[in-house]
A and B are shown apart, each in its own frame.
Chain A
Amino acid sequence: MTPEGSINRGTAFHADWLDGIRVNKSAVERRIGSLMGRRSVKKDSQIAFMLKAISCIDLTTLAGDDTPGRVERLCRKAAHPVRQDIMDALGVGDMQLTTGAVCVYHEMVPTAVKALEGTGVPVAAVSTGFPAGLAPFETRLEEIRRSVAAGAGEIDIVITRGHVLTGNWQALYDEVKAFKEACGPALMKAILATGEHGNLTQVGKASMTAMMAGADFIKTSTGMEGVNATLPVTLVMIRQIRDFYQRTGQKVGYKPAGGIKTAKDAVAYLTLIKEELGRDWLTPELFRFGASSLLGDLERQLEYHAFGGYSAAYRHPMG
């Protein structure tokens, strides 16, 4: 289930690919508003979508007070995200459901790697001076290398927002390409921090630039910006993924992060991905949620579907 490292070879920098990118905010909002009214995910589909959502979660803890004990507990939850009796009741007790990854700071990578040994769940490390990304360039590259060396299979890098805000796409390309080289075999997710972009056209151009530079995933946010993942921003980014695929034949993954807290949110994201990118992208190889509290709600909703009564949080093992 887990990706075998890097999936995007990238391309040369094509300034002309950026020229045609224009995003009309009202049109984006209209599509989102209309789609959510036109796709209803019910019954077995709803269960399947929720299980899929869990399989795509990068279960995350990124706090200054993280400790090995806390991270170990999170890792156990990642390996067994839903109570077995619920899985059994839904007829999927043998599917070995895990989350997509566990996502931590560099210091916690060894702990997580050890805790997840044998589970197949990869460890992702946020990197490159996360969340602001303004540490010295050499330091940022070194951070990547060390996390990879410590066993992180996935690196979530942050870009320099200044390049986006000043329209310096060549500089952004060069930066991401350098990060990609530093990642070596590890899967690289490029955090664009879209909440800090001026408009959606910049989000579109930054997305395309990051993919040209070799990002395996493009990711909305660090979770620390004022506004994190939203459906409109998602629409803009995944449409760029589709264009990049049509231009190059290379599939790039997508990761919304921050603010996705409910099962309903998660189903909405999966629906949008299915409609705009197709079924192929509904897999942890090409889609992840960056989330911490989402799993709790998904588990509660699954219990409702399994046993017919709405659940309470304390009934589910905490991560």
Chain B
Amino acid sequence: MTVKEKFETMDYSPAPESRANADAWLKAHDGRFGLFIDGKWVQPADAKTFATYAPSSGEKLADLTAAGQAEVDAAVAAARSAQGKWASLGGHGRARYLYALARLVQKHSRILAVLESLDNGKPIRESRDIDIPLVARHFYHHAGWAQLMDEEFPDHEAVGVAGQVIPWNFPMLMLAWKVAPALAAGNTVVLKPAEFTSLTALKFAELCEEAGLPKGVVNIITGEGDTGAMLVNSNVDKVAFTGSTEVGKIIRRAIAGTGKKLTLELGGKSPYIVFEDADIDGAIEGLVDAIWFNQGQVCCAGSRLLVQEGIAERFLEKLRRRMETLRVGPSLDKCIDIGAVVDQVQKDRIHEMVTAGKAAGATVWHAPCDMPEHGVFYPPTLVTDVGTDNILFKEEVFGPVLTAITFRTQAEAVALANNTRYGLAATVWSESLSRALEVAPALKAGVVWINGTNMFDAAAGFGGYRESGFGREGGREGMLAYLKPKFEKGLKEWKPVAKPADVAKPKASGGMPGVDRTAKHYIGGKQARPDGGDSVAIATHKGAFAGLVGDGNYKDIRNAVEAATKAQGWAGTTAHLKAQILYYVAENLSARADEFADRLSELTGVSGKAATAEVELSIQRLFSAAAIADKHDGAVHQPPIRGVALAMNEAIGTIGIICPDEAPLLAFVTLTAFAIAAGNTAVVIPSERYPLLATDFYQILETSDLPGGVVNIVTGARDAMAMPLAKHYGIDAVWYFGDREGSAAIEKAAADNMKRTWVSYGKAYDWFDAKQMATRVLMDRASEVKNIWVPYGDANEGGKSY
């Protein structure tokens, strides 16, 4: 085309980024890569290989090695032997390496960006302007955590060896999210990149060599899903996975009960809420960032548009017009918005889901964008006329497909937004601060963006609620995912409290009998008879009859969960009120301290002095829970925008607490008090051997102004009730203290809806120990962090920030 013709059409010319660097690098390796294990490149003679392709052209980029069991084991062994020295290098030493890695990422930013775009298909502008700068930022930020680790996490140490499995949508960025915190905390890692996109991870291995990182600290093993499974099941101490919810559940079940620490960052169907008082054009542009960024292959993609009915028609019309101007093209063209989908497999999956959605009545509109002739591309797509049961409204597509629905009121918007099993992210558009800041905490999502979307920073934790996974990446909470309290390695083996074979019958006595006491369940603020109508006799430590308690079953659990769910408004009460009630519980326990001490002695056989000490410490724990209730403040992050990210500690929801037999009053009181101090409601199965302490205790709850349903107590055979509790979808977290098998069973069952678990793996906590029962640690167990991003600014400063 001549200049004159261009002057008429005013079209853009293709603006391809040079790939010379990347090609030279691939050529230098003869298009063939081994595994990076123990600081060496290894290529086992008999190893399977597989090819990696450029989805935007279909060309083969390189042959990669699939690590088998021997290589996985070798990598883990290398990491294991390097870990002690790496941890003992100290924070400052590790900070120097992380700083060097950050610098090296910047120095090699161009080849990293080009490789990423070639291998994944994403626009070069995204890899260059977003992915790689965030990678460098992540290493810088975590160099800082390494430097400050001793001061910031004094009672913690590295978990050990981390096995990390990452996805193909942000290959290098996900590597950074995994590797940087692990190394900062003193762990060593074995990382498996996704089979479609391994090249930047291999380049990163070279950067580790360039940085002089000690051998074995970072090991990169390529391979397909089976390699990932081998790594997860290998001798690692921590598993970190980002990927689909389906695979996340498989991993959760596979390592249940092993004690491996686990972080899962899974799928999402994140709501994108536009209120009538929003900046409409801004919200439409935000949608481009939400669902057409990275071809929609983003776990936190705003894929569910909820738009207020009054503006819906105009909004969708504007949206369609905007979609028409999106440019789809080869990944290295600097003039495109949407690149290639990662692989034909993924495109087929998108197509399949869209077809299913259409068959269910959805109207599917593909923007009439010019599509490249070759390569794996999918056009930007808008789906309307869906019910809340449509697959395209419910399920993650992981493609450039937006599904729109309308709402009438703010309350309905929140309800629709939360009508999902996922809970990764959410976006709210409104020019009313009152409205936006009311909606954000009401959304079940780990990240909420107000008037913007897909904003990330290393200092602000990222991670999900519900089936979007657990654990956080980034920030202080992200570091905690790679640390463990120092006391953990000293925990003793747990031993069950022996149960008397028989309970003696109550003795016949002449004269005036005592008044019969009936211990019931405590559900919804009321004493409730057991559904089955059965009771269990409880013995004193001598085997004498001490009393009867209800023999709970799954129906009692169901009723208790229902009551606890109804009482979730507790989270919204003021921290002051929670504190006040907890103090009052302590006050009332104190008034009956002697009675509880006697009961403890009678049931467990401890000395009067020991019993008094346990009651006394229980009162103290209640004081601590009350004390922290109004001090468990979040943080205000300063991300690199004009705005803030508010890290708010939120209640998890309803926690199922399965108490141990040891320290039967103290453990029960501690766990329950902190669960509710953080705003949760609780269904508590007290010690099976000593339930009378809990049934005595509900009288204290009843006189302490605790709203009904906040604490529910169901007595009886704990193993029979633990399973229905761990499998109940209304339970958001489950705490279990007992043997290894029980812990495994709980974690397996909890995988169904990705309950957060705290189990003892057959170890015995010392409930009297101040470090083990540290206030902050308990509150962290009982809460989740939500990051609410609030960009601000209105003054007209000519577009400059101030």
Q: Which residues of A are at the interface with B, using a C-beta cutoff of 8 A?
A: 20, 22-32, 34, 37-49, 51-52, 90-92, 95, 194-195, 197-203, 226-228, 230-233, 239, 270, 274-275, 279, 282
Most chain A CB neighbours (cut-off 10 Å) among B1, B123, B282, B325 = B282
Q: What chain B residues lie within 8 Å of A202 (beta carbons)? A: 796
Chain B residues contacting A38 (CB-CB under 8 Å) are 123, 125, 334-337
Please measure, in the bound complex, the distance between the C-alpha atom of A233 and the C-alpha atom of B282, giving whole angstroms: 13
**Is there an interface contact between B334 and A40, defined as CB atoms closer than 8 Å?**
yes
Tell me which residues across on chain A come within 8 A of B452, comparing CB atoms.
Answer: 26-27, 30
Instruction: Name the one of B278, B289, B431 contacting A34, with C-beta atoms under 8 angstroms.
Output: B289
| Residues of chain B contacted by A44 (CB below 8 angstroms) | 1-3, 6, 13
Neighbour of B799 across the interface among A41, A231, A279, CB < 8 A: A231
Contacts of B769 in A (CB 8 A): none
Could you list which residues of chain B lie within 8 angstroms of chain A, going by C-beta atoms?
A: 1-4, 6-7, 9-13, 15, 123, 125, 129, 277-283, 285-286, 289, 311, 325, 334-337, 431, 451-452, 641-643, 791-799, 801
Contact A95 B799 (CB under 8 A): no
Chain A minimum-CB-distance residue to B451: A24
Sorted nearest first, the 10 A-B pairs with minimum C-beta distance are A227-B798, A27-B282, A232-B799, A48-B6, A40-B15, A26-B791, A40-B334, A24-B279, A230-B799, A45-B13
Q: CA–CA, A270 to B11, complex, Å?
A: 11
Min CB distance A276 to B, Å, is 8
CA distance A48 to B3 in the complex (A): 6
| Chain A hits for B286, CB < 8 A | 27, 30
Q: CB within 8 A of B279: which of A22, A47, A231?
A: A22
New A-B contacts (6) at CB < 8 Å, excluding given A44-B3, A92-B3, A202-B796: A27-B281, A38-B336, A40-B334, A42-B15, A199-B794, A274-B10
Do B282 and A23 have beta carbons less than 8 Å apart?
yes
- Complex Cα–Cα for A228 and B796 (A): 11
Residues of B within 8 A of A228 (CB): 798
Report if A26-B15 is in contact (Cβ < 8 Å); known contacts: A48-B6, A232-B799.
no
Q: Are B10 and A52 touching (Cβ within 8 A)?
A: yes
Of B4, B277, B794, which one neighbours A25 at CB under 8 angstroms?
A: B794
Report whether over half of chain B's contact residues are helix, strand or loop; otherwise say mixed.
loop
Query: Which residues of the other chain, B, contact A203 by a CB distance below 8 angstroms?
Result: 796
Q: Which residues of A contact B801 (CB under 8 A)?
A: 29
Once the chains are docked, how many angstroms separate the CA of A95 from the CA of B279? 42
In the bound complex, residues from chain A placing their C-beta under 8 Å from that of B796 are 25, 194-195, 197-200, 202-203, 227, 233
Let me know if A32 and B799 touch, CB within 8 A.
yes
Q: For the complex, what is the distance from the CA of A34 to the CA of B643, rounded to whole Å? A: 18
Q: Does B451 contact A26, Cβ atoms closer than 8 Å?
A: yes
**Chain B nearest Cβ from A175, distance in angstroms:** 21
CA distance A37 to B288 in the complex (A): 14
In this complex, the member of A23, A201, A226 whose beta carbon has the largest number of chain B beta carbons within 10 angstroms is A23
Q: Is the interface of A mostly helix, strand, loop or mixed?
A: helix
Are A24's CB and B282's CB within 8 A? yes
CB-CB under 8 A for A51 and B7, given A22-B278, A25-B793 = yes
A31 near B795 with CB under 8 A, answer no
* Measured CA separation A198–B10 after assembly (Å): 35
Among B3, B285, B451, contact of A31 (Cβ-Cβ < 8 Å) = B285
Q: In the complex, A29→B795 CA distance in Å?
A: 13
Contact A31 B798 (CB under 8 A): no
Once A26-B642, A30-B452, A45-B13 are accepted as A-B contacts, the answer to whether A20 and B280 lie under 8 Å apart by CB is yes
Q: How far is the CA of A228 from the CA of B798 in the complex (A)?
A: 7
The residue among A27, A39, A90, A233 with the most chain B CB atoms within 10 A of its own CB is A27
- Interfacial chain A residues near B791, Cβ < 8 Å: 26-27
Contacts of B125 in A (CB 8 A): 37-38
Closest to A195 in B: B798
Within 8 Å CB of B7, what residues of A? Answer: 48, 51-52, 92, 95
CB<8 Å pairs between A and B, sample of 16? A24-B282, A27-B791, A29-B801, A30-B286, A31-B282, A34-B289, A37-B129, A38-B335, A38-B337, A48-B7, A51-B3, A197-B796, A198-B795, A201-B794, A233-B798, A279-B10
Identify A199's interface contact among B283, B325, B334, B795, CB under 8 A. Answer: B795
Q: What distance in Å separates the Cβ of B796 from its nearest Cβ neighbour in chain A?
A: 5
- In the complex, what distance in Å separates the CA atom of A102 from the CA atom of B2? 29
Q: How far is the CB of A173 from chain B (nearest CB, A)?
A: 21
Residues of A within 8 A of B795 (CB): 25, 198-199
Write out the residue numbers on chain B whose beta carbons fall within 8 Å of the beta carbon of A48: 3, 6-7, 10
Q: With A and B bound together, what is the CA distance between A23 and B282 in angstroms?
A: 7
Question: Are B285 and A27 in contact, with the CB atoms below 8 A?
Answer: yes
| Chain A, residue nearest B123 (CB) | A38
Q: A25 CB to closest chain B CB, in angstroms?
A: 5
User: Please, how many angstroms separate the alpha-carbon atoms of A194 and B10 in the complex?
Assistant: 29
Q: Which residues of B contact A275 (CB under 8 A)?
A: 325
Q: A47 — which chain B residues lie within 8 A by C-beta?
A: 3, 6
Kindly identify which residue among A39, A51, A201, A279 contacts B335, using a CB–CB cutoff of 8 Å: A39
Given A34-B289, A45-B12, A239 contacting B281 (CB threshold 8 A) = yes
What is the CA–CA distance of A22 and B325 in the complex, to the nearest angstrom? 23
**CB-CB < 8 A to B797: which residues of A?**
227
A273: nearest chain-B partner, CB-CB = B10
